[in-house]
Structure 1
Amino acid sequence: MNRGNFFELFKVLCQYDPEIKQRLDELPANAKMMSPDSQNDLLETAASLQSKKIRAELHAQADTYYAILAEYKGHSKKELIAVCVRYIFNGNLRERAVGFVATDHMTSSGIANKILEVLEPLQLDPELCVGFSFDGAAVTSGGRAGVQVLLEKTFPHAVYVRCHSHRLNLVLSTASKVATFFDVINLLHHFMTGANRHAQFLQIQKELHPNKPCLEPVRSTDIRWSSKSESVSRVLTLYDVILKTLSEFAEGSGQTKIEEESLLQHIQRKRFIFLLVAFSKLFNASDFATKAPSVSVTDCVHMIEGLK
């Protein structure tokens, strides 16, 4: 029934915009302009219009200073680079994504060239670039041949600032490595999201908390600090549901029974419960530092000092 995101979004738009629905209905059956090629053309046009809008804002006033932000990650066997531009327009801070492209060369020169390629249509004055921010990987932060060094040749006045959110994530993740505790948290996530167990987990939730929406377990990862906070909070909130679900499956037989009994023993230990509550309190105190909206540097300093 789901014909894909593009068609389904059009269906939603038609419910709220009579003009779109009328134009769509008036098209002949053999020329609905909904083929994959047409969809790509529409998306390219939308991207082009957005790019023109961003360029217009950057050139609306003389001497509009800007900064470049970039991030790269692997996904679906492709290396992808996201590029953003940060600037002030009409007194308000703007942070706009201007490109998301794949690259075959994850070298410093390959990444730098892709960033320049994405920025070229914006026709920016290199002299007005005041800085760029990437994560702290060697390929970007290297002092001799990193991306930041190569880009300084084009943007002579830019100051490289290593992503402070990324640095904070690394510090907090390293500091929170209580291996057995977070291993159990992720084992609970894996168990509760299993095909035949997930339905039972949701059913028990409805029985124990009939007036509340069903919640899903969250997996803890080292690269995203907030996932640790969410995973711990979710286990604490659903502790009674998890206990009952594990108890029911532990009454079965075979390998599954052994796994359930082991998890059940782990989460009922005083040490696990203590860490669950302690980390929950710690995360409640530190969450604001990783989720705070854009604030000034001085406010950031005060926030971090307060957190420490």
Structure 2
Amino acid sequence: MGHQMFLCKVQVRKRHQMLELIINVVNLIGKRGLGSRGSQSEAAYMLKDDTVDHGNFLEMIVLLSKYDFCLKEDLTICIKNSKKLHQSGSRGGRGFLVTFLSKATINNIIKTIQHIMKTTIASQVQESGMFSVQIDTTQDITSQDQCSVIIRYVTDIVHEKLVALIQCESSTGQYFVKVVSEVLANMNLDLKQCIGNSTDGASNMQGKYKGFSTHLSEKSPHQIHVCCYSLIHNLILEDTTQSVLESGSFFFRSSIILQFLSESYQRMSIWEKEKKDPKHRRLAPIGETRWWPKDSALNKFFRLPHQSQNIYRQVAWTS
């Protein structure tokens, strides 16, 4: 009986070690901003096949198993049991084969990390006693509109934390207030402690009657609206550069030259060969709606040294 208990404790300890390693791998993948799963070949019985892509998570597990005896032993058992199940033609059932390597395990770990992070942020916000919110929407590659919710608060330093990314079902100011209210309620934060909000200049955000800020004031009367200063700065620069003929002509001609070089690998090869600064070897397009891509593209194109950048900016302002 005592021997069986000892073996059971050893097995539990090994499982704890394997789960800790898996959590560290998921943390690393998240830190590097990588996808965890592959598009196919994720079954445990296929992990011995080095010719297929198993996805970042499983590939890291397989790599680490080459240097960790306990992980290698557990992985071998998982592959063996999975192969048996596959050859028998049985699909088993939920929890029939516990490997800790399934997508369900990854998702549960991610959700747990998310919960811990949100709890920590909520604790800091409650200690601070007040906060402001920032929201903005953007379309992803599938043309779905997503709303990011950011909380800004102060402890010993200023914090800006992304706490939610919501797929939008509407674009009205009232809908965005509902989204923010639900996000804060899930974090046990009182909306009345919100003292400000920051958005872009769209009518659904700062409209006088139906804007997000107006509806938010009904639930948090003391909050004030602050338009995004970066957006205002960008709009000023855009209007300035478009209204001056010399400036507009300069950016137009520069854009044509950059496009001319970028469209041919032969011309790009000559450009890279002649370029002295390896940091500015790759050309960047001149953006139409943001100022910083223009600044970045022209600095790379003209290879301006650091001390000359202030002169360039003064010329751009006065042109």
Q: TM-score range by the shorter chain?
A: 0.5 to 0.7
Identify if the C-alpha distance between structure 1 residues 69 and 278 changes in structure 2 by more than 3 Å, giving closer, same or farther: closer
User: What residue in structure 1 maps to residue 7 of structure 2?
Assistant: none
Q: Deviations over 1:176-203 (max 9, x none)?
A: 1244432333334444444xx2x43453
- 8 Å Cα contact 2:184/2:190 also seen in 1: no
- 8 Å Cα contact 1:108/1:147 also seen in 2: yes
Query: Deviation at 1:167?
Result: 0.6
- 8 Å Cα contact 1:98/1:119 also seen in 2: no
User: What residue in structure 1 maps to residue 56 of structure 2?
Assistant: 8
Query: What does residue range 277-292 of structure 1 map to in structure 2 within 5 Å?
Result: 281-282=312-313
- 8 Å Cα contact 1:85/1:98 also seen in 2: yes
Pair 1:82 & 2:148 matched: yes
Pick the structure with greater CA Rg.
2
User: What residue in structure 2 maps to residue 297 of structure 1?
Assistant: none
**TM superposition score normalised by structure 2:** 0.63
User: What residue in structure 2 maps to residue 111 of structure 1?
Assistant: 176
User: What residue in structure 2 maps to residue 26 of structure 1?
Assistant: 74
Query: Deviation at 1:154?
Result: 1.6
Gaps of at least 5 residues in structure 2 are: 1-33, 37-54, 83-97
- 8 Å Cα contact 1:107/1:139 also seen in 2: yes
Query: Deviation at 1:142?
Result: 0.6
User: What residue in structure 1 maps to residue 161 of structure 2?
Assistant: 96
From 263, 270, 274, the equivalent of 1:204 is: 270
- 8 Å Cα contact 2:261/2:268 also seen in 1: no
Q: In the comparison of the two structures, how many residue pairs are matched?
A: 240
**TM superposition score normalised by structure 1:** 0.66
Q: Deviations over 1:167-224 (max 9, x none)?
A: 1111111111244432333334444444xx2x43453244324773562211222432
Distance 2:61 2:153 in 1: 32
Residue identity matched to 2:74: E
Q: Deviations over 1:219-274 (max 9, x none)?
A: 22243221110111122129xxxxxxxxxxxxxxxxxxxxxxxxxxxxxxxxxxxx
User: What residue in structure 2 maps to residue 223 of structure 1?
Assistant: 289
Query: Deviation at 1:39?
Result: 3.6
Query: What does residue range 39-58 of structure 1 map to in structure 2 within 5 Å?
Result: 39-58=106-125
User: What residue in structure 2 maps to residue 172 of structure 1?
Assistant: 237
Residue identity matched to 1:123: N
Q: Deviations over 1:15-48 (max 9, x none)?
A: 8999999647733224654444444333333222
Query: Deviation at 1:162?
Result: 0.8
User: What residue in structure 2 maps to residue 187 of structure 1?
Assistant: 256
Distance 1:210 1:282 in 2: 22
Query: Deviation at 1:145?
Result: 1.0
Identify if the C-alpha distance between structure 1 residues 185 and 56 changes in structure 2 by more than 3 Å, giving closer, same or farther: same
- 8 Å Cα contact 2:272/2:282 also seen in 1: no
Query: Deviation at 1:161?
Result: 0.8
Distance 2:151 2:315 in 1: 32
User: What residue in structure 2 maps to residue 64 of structure 1?
Assistant: 129
Distance 2:132 2:68 in 1: 38
Query: What does residue range 146-161 of structure 1 map to in structure 2 within 5 Å?
Result: 146-161=211-226
Residue identity matched to 1:282: R
Q: Secondary structure at the match of 2:278?
A: coil
The percent identity for this pair of structures is: 18
User: What residue in structure 2 maps to residue 298 of structure 1?
Assistant: none
- After superposition, the CA RMSD in angstroms is 3.6
Identify if the C-alpha distance between structure 1 residues 10 and 20 changes in structure 2 by more than 3 Å, giving closer, same or farther: farther
Distance 2:69 2:255 in 1: 46
Identify if the C-alpha distance between structure 1 residues 14 and 54 changes in structure 2 by more than 3 Å, giving closer, same or farther: farther
Identify if the C-alpha distance between structure 1 residues 147 and 9 changes in structure 2 by more than 3 Å, giving closer, same or farther: same
Distance 2:313 2:207 in 1: 34
Identify if the C-alpha distance between structure 1 residues 279 and 25 changes in structure 2 by more than 3 Å, giving closer, same or farther: farther
User: What residue in structure 2 maps to residue 272 of structure 1?
Assistant: none
Distance 1:130 1:41 in 2: 34
Distance 2:239 2:278 in 1: 35
Q: Secondary structure at the match of 1:153?
A: helix
- 8 Å Cα contact 2:234/2:291 also seen in 1: yes
From 166, 182, 199, the equivalent of 1:134 is: 199
Residue identity matched to 1:79: D
Distance 1:115 1:284 in 2: 43
